[in-house]
Structure formats: structure tokens, C-alpha cells
Structure 1
């Protein structure tokens, strides 16, 4: 018999899956539900997410590999992990399983389906991911972040909830954007998602170094770089005389976003959701190899709304970025208007909306068992 107050969340791999899971876990825990996270070693390594939630870590982070043998290994890994999760469910059966995409969703959702446990899927991106596409038709609800999401199976039942953002972000969302007028500092945040982005470390320092001195002297940059790139990025900024803070990881991205005028970033779903929640305009460089090119789709939503500008990797050069920055900083009202447009995209109650769906299903399951 399932436990009506016990919910399993399955997420992993990147912050894009873990952060919305954390936001929903916060709401469920606040309302008295017991939450278990199913994740993989990569998700478990993101130590600033779901720190107070019990977790079950799968013993592999495999996904569909290349070639016949890679696919065989992936299928065997999924089967093995599905049986492992089923073993956990025998000890205590959840009322609902919520899959947030990524590899750990599949074994958890397959285990739920095999035991007759209802499941909900959440899609963060503008294009439904492979795991969610595969499992969508059996889901009680496929919760979408965006109304016109692509590649949604026709038979799936969907509701638009938005993409949940962490509490530390949502509580700062009502603080006004500060326009960089006059000769004051222009504060830039460069961030490549939970995995970092080498292209940002290659291009941004060179672009800033090429700016005219009157502009360059105003720039203050906070840059998240991969660990192996930190020292060279620091040296590049120092050589150009640019005020900088460069780290592999920042504990409080919310506070940094709060004081930033412009963000240069990837366009993963959580990044886009947090930027829109806080109304921070962005130059977005979609990851070219992202599955189904979903980062370009995410960035396109923001650009069409007027909240930012897309620069594909192939066109993201130091010269092109320097020109874009020069144009933006010449007219602060452009950034101010983009900030307002960003806020228009935000869905600040997404975590509550998704949690309400989960709680309703759990309640009905409790009544029928």
C-alpha cells in the first residue's frame, strides 16, 4: 500500500533538473510531505541542491551511448536501476513519483509504472526531452514550463505550470532592476550553468579587453569558469585592467544576480527561469550540442519576448560580443526595457502549481487505497 504523505522526486545530471526539483521539494516538505530524491552520481555531486532531502543514488549515470554496444549497456543499466528502485519502493511505496528528466527519471518512472504508482513528469525546456517523450503517455500529468512546448506526444495530458525556481531566487524577484546610468560601474555576470562553459571563458575576456578604455574602466565582471580555466581567465582580466571576480562556483548566485546589470550565459532552462524571475537581461549563447537544440529554443522564447539577445556559438566571437556590449551600454534604456520583458516571461508560483498537482494526485490515491 502506498503512503499518501510520501513523494519521490527523480532528477539528476545537471542543475537544470535538480533546481526545479529542489523548489518543489521545499513546498512539499513545508506542507508535511516526506520527500525522497532519486538521482545519479552527477546529480549527487551538486551539493547545493536538495541538501536537506533524503536521497537514493543510482550506481551509474549512464545514458544512451553510441554504437550498438553502447546502447546495449545503456538498456542493461536502465533495467538494473529500475529493479533497484523497485526494491526501494517495496520498503515504502510512494503515493506519487515526479520525474524531472535526465537519466534517473527513467528507472524511477519505470519502477512506478510497474508497481501501479502514478507519476508526473516536469519538462523544464521548450522542447520535451527524450525521457519525458518516452514516458509521457502514461503520466497522469506532463507539466510544461512553456505553453507551446515542442515534441509533446498528442496523447499526453499536459498542464502549464512554469519552471520552478529556488526559494533564494523567488524571494528576490520583487526587487527592482537598477539601470547603469552615467559613469557608474556596469556589473556583468558570466555564467555557464552547473557545468561551466569554456567558450565563455575564451570569448568574454577578449571581448571586454577590446572595449574602449572609457567603457572598459566601468566594467566589473563576476565570472564562473571551469576549474581548469579559472587562473587563465583571472590573468586575462587583470592584464586588461578589468575589475573581476572569477571562481569555479558561487554559493549565492541570487545575490550576484541582484546586483548585475547584464548576464552573459548559456540558455539552460533553470538559467532562463532564474533570469526571468529576477528580471535580468541576458546575452544567451545556446549550447550547440544540446539534445534537440533545446537551448536555442529556450533562448528564442526570451528573445522574442524582448528580454535578451541570442548569439549562436558559431557567431559568438570577441569582435561580435564587443560590438553588442558597446551598443547595449550606449543606451541604458535598452537594458531597462529588457529587464521588464524578462519579468513578463516569469512564472513565480510554478513550484506551488506543480506541488498542488502532486498533492492532489497523492490525496486521491490515499482515498482509493
Structure 2
């Protein structure tokens, strides 16, 4: 019996890096059903849950982001060297056929190990300004899959780049095709939204979280307070990201606004398709 390829997705740390990888993995699983797919990341609880819920193995690789002070610098060196050694061993022990670098600090260690072992690797770049991993390894990568053509000037002239756009998770694609079924396109979508609007309150979804999205946790409650009665009859659902739930709930409470704040939304696709307005940061993955 032939053994399928082992594809290792390396990176994560934030949803913007992780979810494009999960989207690509889902498509690969359909095209190459015998493939073995593993994700390697820093080991955050939410990330492990997301990957395992999607049906893939998850391996923890020690890693640290760029240090902000001398104390963090020591941890940065020790953890990332340990991550490189762990990745180097894992690639050989588990006979990885291909590494897919997703971006993020874990991606650097694994892609570096793949390069040293001679394991082919490709890179996913979600933004117009590439990550450090993409800039450092673009020349040696078999291919860089970019969301935007504007990424080219930031990479080595010999880098092989293919602009594909950002991959969407299967749940989004399935809902989109269902909405536009039978060739009705915008008509079907308009009818669906009209039916939804008649059967529920208008819904506002706020996607806060890490990085630039963190500011939404602070600014949106105050902004909604300013519009006053215009918000009457609206349901507000706010995703805060890890470690920011209580502070965001307190902000809404102080502003006198009734909102449902949650750390993460697992079924984000179905929620967004049943919403009237979404506020999010303009990152590449969010826009996709």
C-alpha cells in the first residue's frame, strides 16, 4: 500500500496566519486524500483547539517573537534555537515531504530546519508587506504564494512568486456557493438577507483580537455610545481575542451598551453570513 505525502504547515500564533493554512489544508485533503497533514505552532490553547477541530495533528515547536527588552532577548535565543532543533528532528523522524510556511515566529524555525535538511518548502504570504520569514526565505522557497502583487518589490529578485489571493476557509466558500446557487447570484443573496432581516434583529459583529484588531476592543464600545439611539434594536456581538474578554465587557458596561462579548467565535462563517454589518481590521485574511 502506497504511503501518501506528509505535508507540514508551520506557523500560526495569530488567526491571520493560521486560518489560511487550514483553508489550504482542507483543499489538499480533497485533492490528495491519502496525504498526512500536520500543523506545527507555538502551542497556544486556542490554536491547538482550532487545528484539532479541523481534523489535523498539531505539534508544538518552541518559539518566541522578536524581543522588546534584554530579558526577552535571552528567551528569544534559547527558545528559537530549541525550536529549530525540534523542527530539524521532527522533519526527519516524520519524513515530511513538504513544509508550508504560514508566517509567524514558529514558521521561521521550521522553514530554516527544512532548508537545512533539504526538504522542499513553499511560503504563504497573506499581506502586501511580507513577514520576516517570507523576506528571509523567499529566494530559497520553491514558490511564494502571495495575496497581493505589491509584495514583489519587498522580496529577493530571484524569488518565485505566484499571486493567488488569500485562501478562504471551506465554510465561507460553501455558504457563498449555497447563497448564489442556481445562478441567481445577487438576487438569491438579496432575498436571503431580506428574509434574515425580517426574522431577527439587525446584527453588528465586531472582530477584535490580536495586533491591529486589539484597538477595536477599546474604540468600538465608545464609538457605539456616541451614536446613541441609532443603535436601538441592534444585536451587538463582539469577538475580543484571548485575554481581553473581561476588559471589553467592562467597557460596554460603562458605556451602557448591551453586547455579547466572547473570546472567540468558532462558527464565524455562518455568523457573518447572517449579519448586517461587520467591523474588523483591514488585514489580508479579514478582507478575504
CA offsets per residue over residues 267-307 of structure 1, 9 Å max, x none?
3332221xxxxxxxxxxxxxxxxxxxxxxxxxxxxxxxxxx
1:250 corresponds in structure 2 to 265
Shift of residue 38, structure 1, vs aligned partner: 1.2
TM-score (norm 2): 0.81
Shift of residue 40, structure 1, vs aligned partner: 0.9
| Equivalent residue runs for 1:1-369 within 5 Å | 5-30=5-30, 31-32=32-33, 33-42=35-44, 45-51=47-53, 52-58=55-61, 60-66=62-68, 70-71=72-73, 73-149=75-151, 151-174=154-177, 175=179, 176=189, 178=193, 185-193=201-209, 197-213=213-229, 215-225=230-240, 226-236=244-254, 239-240=256-257, 244-273=259-288
Aligned-residue RMSD, C-alpha? 2.8
Shift of residue 212, structure 1, vs aligned partner: 4.9
Alpha carbons of structure 1 residues 263 and 79: separation in structure 2 relative to 1, 3 Å: same
CA offsets per residue over residues 306-340 of structure 1, 9 Å max, x none?
xxxxxxxxxxxxxxxxxxxxxxxxxxxxxxxxxxx
CA distance in structure 2 between the partners assigned to 1:190 and 1:4 by the alignment: 41
CA offsets per residue over residues 226-277 of structure 1, 9 Å max, x none?
222243145246x34x5x322222221112111222211223332221xxxx
- In 2, are the aligned partners of 1:144 and 1:163 still within 8 Å (CA)? yes
Alpha carbons of structure 1 residues 221 and 50: separation in structure 2 relative to 1, 3 Å: same
Alpha carbons of structure 1 residues 44 and 220: separation in structure 2 relative to 1, 3 Å: closer
Shift of residue 105, structure 1, vs aligned partner: 1.1
CA distance in structure 2 between the partners assigned to 1:219 and 1:71 by the alignment: 47
Alpha carbons of structure 1 residues 186 and 86: separation in structure 2 relative to 1, 3 Å: same
SS of structure 2 residue aligned to 1:84: helix
Shift of residue 186, structure 1, vs aligned partner: 3.7
Alpha carbons of structure 1 residues 34 and 100: separation in structure 2 relative to 1, 3 Å: same
| Moved beyond 3 Å, runs of 4+ | 43-46, 66-73, 177-182, 193-199
1:318 corresponds in structure 2 to none
Shift of residue 116, structure 1, vs aligned partner: 1.1
Q: Which of the pair has the greater relative contact order for Cα pairs under 8 Å at 6+ separation?
A: 1
TM-score (norm 1): 0.64
Aligned length: 265
CA distance in structure 2 between the partners assigned to 1:210 and 1:72 by the alignment: 46
CA distance in structure 2 between the partners assigned to 1:143 and 1:48 by the alignment: 23
CA distance in structure 2 between the partners assigned to 1:181 and 1:94 by the alignment: 49
